[in-house]
Structure 1
Amino acid sequence: MAIFRNGTVLDHDSWTVVAAGAPVPAEGDIIIALADFIAQRDALLGRVGPVGVAVEAGEELDDIVGDLPRLVLVALRFPKYTDGRSYSKARLLRERHRYGGELRAVGDVLHDQIPLMLRCGFDSLEVTHEPTLRALREGRVRGVTVHYQTSAREGREAAPNPARRWLRAS
């Protein structure tokens, strides 16, 4: 598994993904399933080491909104290329809930999705697709410079043409 963060592909990560229902390590950076986090909330937030929560595409954010200031990472799953629910969750976390921690896309992360994922507020991407990893390592993933919608990451962008105020340039 490789992580794409800040324009760089990292072949290792400090975060350990805890399998659903598995014992939680006493120390270290962990990512735990949403249901397990809810069941063990007090113990997890009191442990040594950062805690991240993995949210499946069909799960709601409501149960963790109050805990967001104490969560270092939220991992949003993309179960398949055509499932866009995690894009919406990313925008909600950044804009409505003002989540400032690391937002990670996991699952079916492919080359064509990356510019939109970054615009929706993702900081890091877990990439397993070899052609996508190769494109990232070679710097072949390019963003779109003119948009109709503002970015969750960049805030307000400038309108490139006063006659077309709805366009945004990044």
Structure 2
Amino acid sequence: MSTTPKIWNEAGFVSDDPWVIETEETKAGHNERPLLPLADFLAKAGDGERELGVLIAPADDVIALQPFLDRIALVALSFPAFNDGRGFSHASLLRSRLGYHGAIRAVGDVLIDQIPLMLRCGIDSVAVTNATAIKRLEENCLPGIPHHYQPTAKPAAKAGGYSWRRVS
């Protein structure tokens, strides 16, 4: 598994992404922008700063972002383990209930089979470190099921024939 994530969106890999998740070892440098933990984001947004990036942990309450949605340039949703799906709920809440139209990124343990579902929930980009996922994305080979019964944050075309069937 690679330690440096590759940023991917539906147009392909992004080479000049400025966002950095700051840690003790890694700090945002020149021409880079930090993704702030929720508490730090709320403090800066409360001071009136704009165009901030926020890192949402699985246990964070995304409803706290509601008064500051116009100040957010990127929401990064943490997926610390493949079996922790709270980020899907956060993305859906941001898009459907809170009406957030900005960028949403999945970070952490992102696997190839999760990416189509992330896109359906309203996630725009993913930070991928998994070697298999990177290879499949380079090959433009996303898995998935072409028909869905549930509406999602990402608009779907009707498949025809059945009012409840949608096409990815």
Q: Which band: TM-score by shorter chain?
A: 0.7 to 0.9
| Residue from 12, 33, 41 that aligns with 1:8 | 12
TM-score normalized by the length of structure 2: 0.85
Which amino acid in 1 is paired with 2:112? Answer: H
- 2:105 matches 1:101: no
RMSD: 2.4
Residue by residue, what CA displacement relative to the aligned partner does 1:78-117 show, whole Å, maximum 9, x if unpaired? 1110111110110110011110110000011001101100
Matched residue, 1:31: 35
Please give the residue correspondences for 1:78-157 in structure 2 after superposition, counting only pairs within 5 Å.
Answer: 78-154=79-155, 157=157
CA contact (8 A) 1:147 1:168 kept: yes
TM-score, normalised by the number of residues in structure 1: 0.85
Give the paired residue count: 163
Instruction: Report if aligned partners of 1:2, 1:12 keep a CA contact under 8 Å in 2.
Output: no
Q: Confirm or deny: 8 A CA contact 2:113 2:144 kept in the other structure.
A: no
Distance 1:30 1:158 in 2: 40
Secondary structure of the structure 2 residue equivalent to 1:77: strand
Once residues 52 and 85 of structure 1 are traced to their aligned partners in structure 2, the CA distance between those partners, rounded to angstroms, is 19
Unaligned runs of 5+ in 2: none
Q: Which string of whole-angstrom CA distances, capped at 9 and with x for unpartnered residues, describes residues 30-74 of structure 1?
A: 31111211233334x436xx3110000111112211101210110
Maintained 8 Å contact 1:150/1:157 = no
